[in-house]
Structure 1
Amino acid sequence: MITISAHEADEIVRIQPAASVVVVENPFCGREPDALDVPTSGLKPSGRRRKVWLVGRLSNKQKNLQGFIKFCDYAPGNFSINLVGDDTLEVLSERTERKIETFGWVASPVSLVHDGPIVIPSLYEGVPLVLLEAYTHNVPVLVSDIPELSQFVVRECVFDFDDLSKANCERFTEIVQKIGSGSFISRDEWATDYLRQYGFRNAHEWVSRMEAEIFRLRY
């Protein structure tokens, strides 16, 4: 097995002591990307319900589904939570009045995403596969403020989901509305300020390189 996370490696060995685990250095450093100038003036609230999407092994506490649902109860605006992944019904222990739709396991989950971003509120991550797939399909992503995710996304798309302040929750809703209405910055703007320092012209090039590296190390 290959991982860029020492924490994940320890967990694999704990579960399967006989496993052969290789920890590969993450080729990207943790520099904060420059903030992008995203105009906020003139934004009108939309009556249409936007969507936020969570994809993956949502039953794992690492994915922080319950924490995110609690955060959404403090966020204003008309948006639903859409869950694509394993055991989506069983993990909904957090009560909420927010509309939640579950899709279970889907072969191509990113193909379902529309009217809003994928949200990755994880407490920690290894190789962020959902982020890779989202980049490949030109789907905007909002992430939790952890180095494994935040270093690949501009600051406008990074959130502390433990921060239930009015300002933080309103900022989240505003970005969701912008993405859902198509008025948000494009992929080639919101990713590349960070990635250009490594010689990539856009996020798609970075994804292709990461996939090639994973394939090379695996085979």
Structure 2
Amino acid sequence: MKIVAFVGETFYSNNGSYYTKQTSAAFIQDAIGTESVYVCSPSQPVDMPPKGFSTVVQEEHFYSFPSYSSTKDFALKSIFNRDYINSYKAKADKVINEHKGAYFWIRTPSIGSIIFGIQALKAGEKVIHHMCANASSTWRDNKYSLPEKLFGFLFSRYLRFKLGQICKHKNTINLCTGDVLEDFSAQYSPANTFQFVDLMAKAPKCGDVVESQSKPLKVLFLGRIVKDKGVLDLISVANKLKGLVEITIIGDGPDLIEAQQEVEKLSLQESVHFTGQLSHSHLGQYFKNTSLVVVPSNNHYEGFPRVIMEAWAHQKPVIVSHVGGIKAFVKHGENGLIFKPGSQSELYDSLLSLVENENLYSHLEVGAQNMARYSNQQYWLDRLLTIIKEKK
């Protein structure tokens, strides 16, 4: 088996190797072997390999595509420069022609992936379509101006139309992360739609699951440091729970400095700690030494945050906002607590309830343990290969 994957994220090239922090290509490498995986994505050269990378692809297995900063940027470039979109399609056609008979993996709603997938289907090839986020409502986010929201709404309708075309094609296998995306795909092709999480978490070794409920309660946030991931909400709530919680924040992003400044402003240095970006192989120790994981997103694009299952792999309860497709697996009061996106008061109440109620924490801990079967990479590697075999 050979898979050619357009994963969308930017890779950084150095001395014949391509690196990225994301793990979508690494999962495919783990599934079928590095030598059988070819990756297509935007890239840019760097003087040194980036810190905290989780994926590496050798030059002979990588195809560099034109870069774009966002879906909006791609759309504007395509509208005002026809050579841009035409060159993108031509590059895709060249790669597809070189690997006839392979499986072509796309990760949507990346616009580059959508175009790559459509070109592969036009060529009569088989496409594995991983739907990992929801592009249909991102225009609602408050960070956009009214004209941007109007443009975003119209373009999201176009993306939904194209995604529907991909979903219903007879040569497509649809892998959907979260219940919202699964419901969308099933409208077009229920027989070829499957729930799927490209999880990297390994089952912890005996003795690796240590920390239970503690005082102060040890809380972990793992993700991109941007406002719509709710990190500033979490810091604000930490201030109200000063002395009762100790929070570790793993990741980087455009709002990292603002988050650090907020911690200093509130004098929370003793209870809120930043590690920066860490490679996936270094996360186990942090999950081991935490009591629970918080996923406080307040955006409109989430599919199903993988960190939830990473927490369950280490038998840790979760507190998550009701975004995207989290209800595919999270059951309120059973394996986690769910709160309204952007509601600091509900996040505060959820954390306080686990500080004060040991029985509730123990109940959620058992629920997390019951999800461990689904919360390790091997389960999803086997699931992927079974689906491909059945649909061959």
**In the TM superposition, what are the counterparts of 1:1-219 in structure 2 within 5 Å?**
1=6, 9-10=108-109, 12-13=110-111, 19-20=116-117, 22=129, 23=131, 24-26=174-176, 29=179, 48-58=215-225, 60-75=226-241, 78-87=244-253, 89-92=256-259, 93-94=261-262, 95-98=265-268, 99-106=271-278, 107-113=281-287, 114-123=289-298, 124-156=301-333, 157-165=337-345, 169-176=348-355, 184-185=362-363, 187=365, 189-191=366-368, 202-208=370-376, 209-214=379-384
Distance in 2 between residues matched to 1:144 and 1:186, nearest whole Å = 16
TM-score normalised over the length of structure 2? 0.39
Q: Which structure carries more strand by proportion?
A: 2
**Contact kept? 1:52, 1:116, Cα under 8 Å:** yes
**Amino-acid identity (%):** 19
Q: Which runs of 5+ in 2 are unaligned?
A: 1-5, 9-70, 72-106, 118-127, 132-173, 181-212
Per the alignment, residue 156 of structure 2 pairs with: none
Higher RCO by CA contacts (8 Å cutoff, separation 6 or greater): 1
Structure 2 counterpart of 1:109, one-letter code: L
Distance in 1 between residues matched to 2:324 and 2:380, nearest whole Å = 17
Distance in 2 between residues matched to 1:47 and 1:134, nearest whole Å = 16
**Contact kept? 2:295, 2:319, Cα under 8 Å:** yes
CA change 1:175–1:150 in 2 (3 A) is farther
Report SS of the residue matched to 2:257: coil
Number of aligned residue pairs: give it.
Answer: 186
Distance in 2 between residues matched to 1:127 and 1:164, nearest whole Å = 21
Structure 2 counterpart of 1:79, one-letter code: V
Question: Rg bigger for which structure?
Answer: 2
Q: CA deviation at 1:74?
A: 4.0
**Contact kept? 2:218, 2:246, Cα under 8 Å:** yes
Structure 1 counterpart of 2:305, one-letter code: P
**Contact kept? 2:315, 2:368, Cα under 8 Å:** no
Aligned-CA RMSD value: 4.0
Structure 2 counterpart of 1:212, one-letter code: D
Distance in 2 between residues matched to 1:218 and 1:178, nearest whole Å = 45
